[in-house]
Amino acid sequence: MLRLLRTDSDNADFRALVRLLDQDLQVRDGAEHGFYAQFNKVDAIRHVVVAYQDDEPVGCGAFKPFEADSVEIKRMFVQPVHRGRGVAQAVLTELEGWARELGYAGCVLETGKKQPEAIRLYQKSGYQFIPNYGQYIGVDNSVCMQKAV
């Protein structure tokens, strides 16, 4: 049974999963990883979801305020052996619901072209492509998306 925990970035399981995410991204992004890493600090993130399968942390995600009426989805990750079982979808749905409860109207996110499974998840979840925003403007590997919640 999948259990979702709303927490913050001080959660040790979240931090352990993020270390695994960063290792995965280092391999996928290669030399570009340093550029992305500077925008993915986990200090003081107040809205984190950790997914547990039989008390094992198997996935996570977070959001932070983006604009007055929207949040940015960050740090989405599922351990490879648990992929394809709906964990990422459950975490994303929980994050969107939490944002909606807090009065936000939409979510934005950035992912990489070297993460096609993430792009498919977001498209399946109703996210639409938008022009790259902020620090991702002009970055060829970046894909930005948004969704109203």
Residue 41 banded pLDDT, cuts 50, 70, 90: low
Axis crossing angle, helix 116-124 with helix 87-101, rounded to the nearest 10: 50
2-148: CATH homologous superfamily?
Gcn5-related N-acetyltransferase (GNAT) (3.40.630.30)
CA distance 49 to 14: 8
Largest CA distance in the chain: 42
How many alpha carbons fall within 13 Å on the CB side of residue 108? 19
Neighbours of 14 (CB within 10 A): 24
What letter would DSSP give residue 88? Answer: H
* pLDDT per position as a tens digit, 5-39: 999 999 999 999 998 988 887 775 566 555 555 55
* pLDDT per position as a tens digit, 86-121: 999 999 999 999 999 999 999 999 998 888 999 999
Contact yes or no for 110/71 (Cβ under 8 A): no
